[in-house]
Structure 1
Amino acid sequence: MSFFNKMLASVGIGSAKVDTKLESDTVAPGGEIRGVVEIQGGNVEQRIDDIYLSLNTTYVKESDDKKYTVSGLIDRFRLTESFVLMANEKKVIPFSFLLPIDTPISIGKTKVWIATGLDIKNAVDPTDKDYLRVVPNELMDSVLQAMGGLGFRLREAECEQAPHRLRRRLPFIQEFEFIPTSGPYRGRLDELEITFLPISNTDTEIWMQVDRKVRGLGSLFSEALNMDESNIRFTVNRGDIPYMQQKIQSIIQSYA
């Protein structure tokens, strides 16, 4: 390669292009993602130091009483060792990986995407971005269906910076905020929040915040002191699925 072509490659002119193609863009946490990464060489030979897939979302962070949205890395997967991509050469690299069980689902304001990048020394890093449709797994879906069966409507779902008591592998959690629109808790609860804290594909811990409706002067004082809220942690597993609505109702009933 001539010195001039090397210089062109180092500033990203005539360089490689990358395109990721997924077999399916719909997956549940813990499910498998499969596809190929297609790399098209440019006008010059280039050394590819790394090919990686990064799984990302955004979440709301708070600092100095201000809220702002930042990107959050869920996981990163390296696909190949270093290699030389010849001019105009095309490579197709298959891949598969399991979506982490703590990946947020695509609902409300939450978006999840895969970014594909080539690590090219001294050059512009070409990237490709592909959005996923992350759907609830069987256990999560059972809990969400149970909430609907009890008369709750999902008002909002959003990823937020995790408080220390709920922080695990990731710096954020996904909160599901429900309001009672019918059923036994309409008029008794203001809202109810749920956060899934997965343990495995078959078990998940749930953090639930129950916000009772204000009634009378005593309740007004309770609300001022945040005593009208109860924080509950419990675990559900696949064996609970046939009876999920009854299980959740019995837990809410103790705090409503």
Structure 2
Amino acid sequence: MSFFNKVLASIGIGSAKVDTKLSQSSIKVGEEAEGIVEIKGGSIEQNIDEIYLTINTTYEKESDDKIIHKQAVISTIKLNEPFVIMPEELKTIPFKIKIPMDTPISTGSSKVWIQTGVDIKGSVDPTDRDMIDILPSDMVEEAMSVFSQLGFKLRKVKNEAAPYKIRKRLPFIQEFEFVPTSGPYYGKFDEIELIFFQIDETKLEVIMEVDRRARGLAGLFSEALDMDESLIQFTIQDYELPTIKATFNDVLMKHS
């Protein structure tokens, strides 16, 4: 092991490399992603202190009238105890990592990836990033389907910094913006914004912000003062899914 090779490895040249291979490209929230992490030894023997996986996304935050993009870690797992990898040696570590129920689904501008980090003593730490398509829970999927049935179209989905009053485990919420394009609510609402908090496999918390379309002088006055928006919060159990359309319909009728 030459001193020159040690110097090169310390700046990442000839150091160990990491490659994570997922068994699936898409997965539903609450389920486990599986795969393997391959560590390929470099030109010298190296001490691998830690290999870890993180589930990540980005979100928007407003600061001084500017939108900044921040990264959030949703979950982290450690895969190993310290070990030594020899030159050109290939080690394979299988893994399972659960996708938390509050992971944003992959739609609109919301992207999720699994990042692999390797802590190597005295060297640049290699990383690997793998995008993964996150699918909604059955309850969220049904709720979104119902809105389509009621004549709404999904216009925008984004992750944004969570207001303090509704913030939970993560620093952001995923917001779904629907606009009425047909049906009984066309012309009554400008837009409907939905936030889903999947408490567990059987319970879904819904926060709905309705933006009523201004009608007449009184309506225009209310709109100018942001009085045309209402915030509604309610919970749906899985056994209520057969009547979820009636639930949303009742809420919308009360605020139209």
- What TM-score do you get using the length of structure 2 for normalisation? 0.97
Measure, in 2, the Cα distance between the counterparts of 1:28 and 1:110: 15
Q: Secondary structure at the match of 2:200?
A: coil
1:82 paired residue number: 82
Q: Deviation per CA, 1:158-197, whole angstroms, max 9, x where unpaired?
A: 0001110111111110000000000100011110000012
C-alpha distance in 1, partners of 2:65/2:233? 28
Which residue does 1:173 correspond to in 2? 173
**In 1, Cα distance between equivalents of 2:124 and 2:248:** 52
Matches within 5 A, 1:112-123: 112-123=112-123
Q: Which residue of structure 1 aligns with residue 132 of structure 2?
A: 132
More displaced 10-residue stretch of structure 1: 105-114 or 216-225: 216-225
Q: How does 1:1-256 map to 2 (within 5 A)?
A: 1-256=1-256
Secondary structure at 2:79 match in 1 = strand
Q: CA RMSD in A?
A: 1.0
For residue 122 of structure 1, report the CA deviation from its aligned partner.
2.3
For the residues of structure 2 that align with 1:195 and 1:154, how far apart are their CA atoms? 13
Structure 1 residue 98: Cα displacement? 1.1
Shift of 1:27: 0.7
Letter in 1 for 2:212: R
Consecutive unaligned residues of structure 2, counting only runs of 5 or more, are none
**What letter corresponds to residue 190 of structure 2 in structure 1?**
D
**Partners of 1:34 and 1:97 within 8 A in 2:** yes
Question: Residue 71 of structure 2 aligns to which amino acid in structure 1?
Answer: S
Query: In the TM superposition, what is the alpha-carbon distance from 1:209 to its structure 2 partner?
Result: 0.2
- Once residues 181 and 156 of structure 2 are traced to their aligned partners in structure 1, the CA distance between those partners, rounded to angstroms, is 14
**Which consecutive residues of structure 1, in runs of 5 or more, have no partner in the other structure?**
none
1:9–1:46: 8 Å Cα contact kept in structure 2?
no
For these two proteins, the number of residue pairs brought into alignment is: 256
**In 1, distance between residues paired with 2:224 and 2:187?**
19
Alpha-carbon offset, residue 5 of structure 1: 3.0
What is the SS of the residue equivalent to 1:199?
A: strand
Residue 90 of structure 1 and its aligned partner are, at CA, apart by 0.5
- Taking structure 1 as the reference length, the TM-score comes to 0.97
Aligned-partner Cα distance in 2 for 1:121–1:174:
38
1:233 CA drift (Å)? 0.4
Local SS of the residue matching 2:20: strand
C-alpha distance in structure 2 between counterparts of 1:8 and 1:65, whole Å: 45
Query: 1:224 offset after TM fit, Å?
Result: 1.6
How many percent identity over aligned positions?
A: 52
User: Which stretch of structure 1 is more off in the superposition, 240-249 or 91-100?
Assistant: 240-249
Q: Which amino acid aligns with 2:148?
A: G
